[in-house]
């Protein structure tokens, strides 16, 4: 299920959209009550984060004259490739940016972490759900209920990213901070001094608790089944009417917890190629190929008579794919309702998200908004995924307009996911065979990414026009991109080399029976997308490798991995193997994998490696629609940094951005930040220049 981590609004009539935005921009107010629009402005830093924007593609498009605004920054000395994290995974990279430090400080090493005391049990790295304190809120008092009679306790989610986010120093200094959709910050970190507004991003679950988002698809002739990223259900018409049920959150107040559901009556008109949906008193009319607007859903959780009624509030959109021949209806993941989160904390302060919703209406709140799994599961075709992803972008642009209009001074950070989640599905810069497309179609859809970069260049142009003369403007990405053509099963290689026993084991997760691992003879294993762990004595539950043998074994494994070749063409698979204590600095290094495996472009850990499965073939074709990636060697996929000021520092890295932002706003970076100011020449660089 962890693979879900790796992983619409309807285009309103333009006149309505313009009227709405005019109203929003007229009525928008700042999230900080202490600011006065008539007072003098303080220093300003505007940071636009384009997830996955690649320096190679940017450079080519700038040279072709297709990115004039980014080229303007480059030509003034404000562009360099940006060193990414080790490994270049989004939660790791954004945590580097947030803390100005590497994983040794913030403790995020991969999408997937493991509990060594439970022998590899995997979990999502950036947040953890634990049993919460059950209480009953009455007239402002929380009355604890210590007699909870059921096996399933209520839960709460905790942010597991450690270290101090750079915005805490701004908050303490009385400088306003506006953060929109930044990854690796769910639940959003708290403001101690009241100068921060934050809307959480990647990592925010849907109403069902899924971090990847659980979409629902109803089709004639289908069988009920769960797929990665959602559920496929049959729909059966009696005459021209059918009933479907939308899955909601799990009702943990029941002795045997089950998911609550909302009924939807579906009426189809084959002749008109249309359908009518009736849901909780609302009527939705759709033509074939049409998306609905957002629809509110109210999931009622029946409670014991001595407790107040409880409701979970969600929103979804419907897409009527087909009416004639075969009826097909897609439903987005049920997002937390931004107008009524009902106890779900997705912003700081908690009413920040409702303020946005009051101005803009309903919008996506899930961390992963582009439904790439619908394409992987063949629910969407390429065009439909592109359409849905474009709806996400349109909604994000509307939110960006709101963010700019409610920002006066201090820091504004805004995140765009489109350059990452569209690239995962459409990027292809290789002459080799594409996993699912013909060469012509692969070229066509790579062109979608080029057009997207041009559109983002237009966003940069508007930012420069509004803030370029009065603010520090930074445009950055967390990593770049590469085609993902071949997959490497690390555990298959470890088994082949004798580090995992026995020779017929199938998964490191199998604890007994056929295919299970013999931990009394196993010395190393892989988990996550880049991590390799020793079965270390005193750390792992069944550890056998002594500390005395650790260094020699790691060096042996590293040397062997660097020699692995693809049997298809003899190409080397692994470009770099990082010893974590050499690249991480800080107290969390002890929790990290022992080695980080960095792959060449075109290669990545196999889908089965991330959860510890062991396939029969060591290197195989990637056969998924997810055909591009960045979980490779760090120097294969650097990000970008653009600035409206010349960047004089050499070899800029993600960890340099936090101290740069702090100093631009007049705050001295703490000693724990290992980065440097991008706008200052370092002592090393000065010495190299002979000064």
Q: How far is CA 499 from CA 471, 534, 556, in A?
A: 55, 9, 11
Question: What is the rounded distance in angstroms from the CA atom of residue 238 to the CA atom of residue 244?
Answer: 13
pLDDT given for residue 450 in this prediction: 98
Q: Indicate if the pLDDT at residue 10 is higher than 60.
A: no
Quick one: 473 exposed, middle or buried, by C-beta within 10 A (0-12, 13-18, 19+)? buried
Concatenating the DSSP letter of every residue in 91-131 gives HHHHHHHHHTS-HHHH---SSEEEEGGGTSEEEESSEEEEE
Residue 532 lies in a domain: yes
Q: Indicate if the pLDDT at residue 198 is higher than 70.
A: yes
Same domain, 490 and 627: yes
Same domain, 155 and 263: no
Same domain, 137 and 226: no
**Boundary of a domain, candidates 279, 308, 331:** 331
Question: What is the rounded distance in angstroms from the CA atom of residue 318 to the CA atom of residue 297?
Answer: 12
Quick one: 354 exposed, middle or buried, by C-beta within 10 A (0-12, 13-18, 19+)? middle
pLDDT in tens, 82-125: 999 999 999 999 999 999 999 999 999 999 888 888 877 787 88
Question: What is the rounded distance in angstroms from the CA atom of residue 349 to the CA atom of residue 194?
Answer: 8
| Count of Cβ atoms closer than 10 Å to residue 448 Cβ | 17
Residue 255 lies in a domain: yes
Pairing of strands 44-50, 258-269: unpaired
Same domain, 504 and 608: yes
Indicate if the alpha-carbon torsion angle 395, 400, 402, 403 is positive or negative.
positive
Concatenating the DSSP letter of every residue in 177-240 gives EEEEEESS-SSPPPPSSS-EEEEE-TT---TTS-SS--EEEEETT---EEETTEEEEE---BTT
Q: Residue 253 — pLDDT band, cuts 50, 70, 90?
A: low
Same domain, 506 and 625: yes
pLDDT given for residue 129 in this prediction: 65
Q: Indicate if the pLDDT at residue 52 is higher than 90.
A: yes
| Count of Cβ atoms closer than 10 Å to residue 130 Cβ | 9
Residue 1 lies in a domain: no
Q: Residue 152 — pLDDT band, cuts 50, 70, 90?
A: very low
DSSP state of 277: E
Residue 179 lies in a domain: no
Residue 7 lies in a domain: no
Same domain, 501 and 629: yes
Q: Indicate if the pLDDT at residue 200 is higher than 60.
A: yes
CA 276 to chain centre: 34
State how many domains the chain has.
3
Same domain, 229 and 311: yes
Same domain, 154 and 222: no
pLDDT given for residue 302 in this prediction: 67
Q: How far is CA 287 from CA 182, 271, 323, 334, 361, in A?
A: 36, 11, 9, 22, 23
Same domain, 263 and 155: no
Question: What is the rounded distance in angstroms from the CA atom of residue 420 to the CA atom of residue 93?
Answer: 13
Pairing of strands 215-219, 482-488: unpaired
Residue 656 lies in a domain: no
Residue 136 lies in a domain: yes
DSSP state of 539: T
pLDDT in tens, 473-505: 999 999 999 999 999 999 999 999 999 999 999
Same domain, 145 and 234: no
Which residues lie across from 124 on neighbouring strands?
A: 112
Q: What would the mean pLDDT of 12-33 be, rounded to a whole number?
A: 38
Question: What is the rounded distance in angstroms from the CA atom of residue 424 to the CA atom of residue 624?
Answer: 10
Nearest partner of 599 among 681, 483, 437, 500, judged by Cα: 483
Same domain, 137 and 272: no
Q: Residue 40 — pLDDT band, cuts 50, 70, 90?
A: low
Residue 350 lies in a domain: no
What is the SS3 assignment for 589?
Answer: helix
Q: Indicate if the pLDDT at residue 60 is higher than 50.
A: yes
pLDDT given for residue 342 in this prediction: 84
Pairing of strands 215-219, 328-331: antiparallel
Pairing of strands 135-138, 121-124: unpaired
Question: What is the rounded distance in angstroms from the CA atom of residue 30 to the CA atom of residue 175?
Answer: 13
Same domain, 142 and 271: no
Q: How far is CA 617 from CA 115, 262, 603, in A?
A: 27, 44, 15
**Boundary of a domain, candidates 331, 350, 384:** 331
**Boundary of a domain, candidates 308, 331, 354:** 331
Give the domain extent around 619: 485-636
pLDDT given for residue 252 in this prediction: 59
pLDDT in tens, 621-673: 999 999 999 999 999 999 999 999 999 999 999 999 999 999 999 999 998 89
């Amino acid at each position: 299920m962890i693979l879900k981590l790796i992983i619409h609004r309807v285009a309103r009539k333009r006149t309505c959209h313009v009227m709405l935005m005019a109203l929003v921009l007229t009525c928008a107010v700042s999230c900080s009550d202490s600011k006065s629009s008539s007072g003098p402005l303080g220093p300003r830093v505007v940071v636009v984060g384009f997830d996955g924007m690649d320096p190679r593609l940017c450079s080519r498009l700038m040279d072709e004259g297709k990115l004039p605004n980014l080229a303007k920054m480059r030509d003034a000395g404000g562009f360099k490739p940006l060193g990414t994290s080790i490994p270049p995974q989004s939660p790791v990279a954004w945590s580097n940016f947030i803390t100005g430090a590497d994983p040794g400080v913030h403790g995020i090493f991969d999408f997937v972490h493991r509990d060594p005391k439970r022998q590899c049990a995997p979990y999502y790295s950036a947040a953890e759900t634990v049993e919460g304190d059950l209480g009953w809120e009455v007239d402002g008092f929380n009355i604890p209920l210590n007699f909870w009679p059921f096996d399933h306790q209520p839960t709460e989610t905790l942010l597991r990213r450690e270290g101090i986010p750079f915005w805490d120093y701004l908050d303490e200094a009385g400088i306003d901070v506006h953060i929109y959709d930044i990854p690796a910050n769910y639940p959003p970190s708290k403001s101690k001094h009241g100068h921060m507004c934050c809307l959480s991003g990647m990592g925010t679950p849907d109403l069902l608790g899924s971090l990847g988002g659980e979409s629902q698809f109803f089709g004639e002739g289908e069988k009920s089944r769960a797929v990665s990223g959602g559920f496929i259900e049959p729909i059966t018409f009696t005459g021209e009417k059918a009933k479907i049920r939308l899955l909601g959150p799990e009702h943990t107040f029941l002795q045997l917890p089950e998911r609550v559901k909302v009924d939807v009556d579906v009426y189809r008109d084959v002749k008109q190629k249309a359908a009518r949906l009736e849901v909780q008193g609302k009527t939705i009319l759709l033509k074939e190929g049409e998306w609905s607007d957002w629809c509110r859903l109210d999931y009622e959780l029946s409670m014991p008579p001595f407790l107040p009624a409880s409701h979970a509030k969600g929103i979804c959109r419907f897409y009527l794919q087909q009416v004639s021949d075969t009826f097909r209806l897609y439903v987005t993941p049920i997002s937390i309702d931004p107008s009524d989160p009902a106890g779900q904390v997705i912003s700081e302060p908690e009413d920040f998200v409702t303020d946005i919703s009051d101005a803009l209406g309903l919008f996506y709140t899930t961390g992963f908004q582009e439904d790439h799994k619908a394409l992987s599961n063949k629910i969407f075709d390429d065009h439909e995924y592109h359409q849905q992803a474009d709806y996400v972008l349109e909604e994000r642009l509307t939110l960006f307009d709101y963010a700019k209009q409610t920002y006066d001074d201090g820091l504004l950070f805004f995140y765009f996911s489109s350059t990452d989640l569209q690239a995962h599905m459409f990027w292809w810069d290789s002459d080799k065979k594409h996993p699912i497309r013909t060469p012509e179609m692969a070229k066509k859809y790579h062109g979608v990414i080029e057009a997207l970069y041009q559109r983002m260049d237009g966003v940069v142009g508007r930012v420069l026009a509004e803030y370029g003369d009065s603010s520090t403007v930074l445009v950055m990405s967390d990593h770049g991109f590469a085609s993902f053509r071949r997959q490497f099963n690390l555990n298959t290689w470890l088994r082949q080399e004798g580090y995992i026993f026995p020779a017929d084991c199938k998964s490191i997760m199998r604890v007994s029976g056929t295919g299970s691992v013999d931990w009394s003879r196993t010395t190393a294993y892989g988990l996550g997308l880049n991590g390799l762990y020793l079965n270390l004595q005193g750390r792992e539950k069944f550890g056998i490798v002594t500390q005395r043998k650790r260094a020699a074994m790691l060096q042996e494994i590293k040397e062997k991995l660097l020699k692995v070749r693809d049997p298809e063409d003899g190409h080397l698979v692994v470009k770099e193997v990082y010893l974590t204590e050499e690249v991480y600095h800080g107290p969390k290094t002890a929790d990290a994998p022992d080695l980080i495996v960095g792959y060449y472009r075109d290669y990545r850990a196999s889908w089965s490696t991330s959860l510890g499965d062991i396939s029969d073939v060591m290197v195989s074709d990637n056969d998924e629609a997810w055909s591009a990636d960045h979980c490779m060697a760090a120097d294969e996929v650097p990000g970008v940094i653009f600035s409206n000021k010349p960047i004089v520092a050499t070899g800029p890295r993600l960890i340099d951005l936090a101290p740069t932002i702090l100093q631009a706003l007049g705050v001295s970076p703490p000693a724990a930040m290992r980065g440097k100011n991008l706008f200052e020449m370092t002592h090393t660089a000065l010495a190299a220049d002979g000064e």
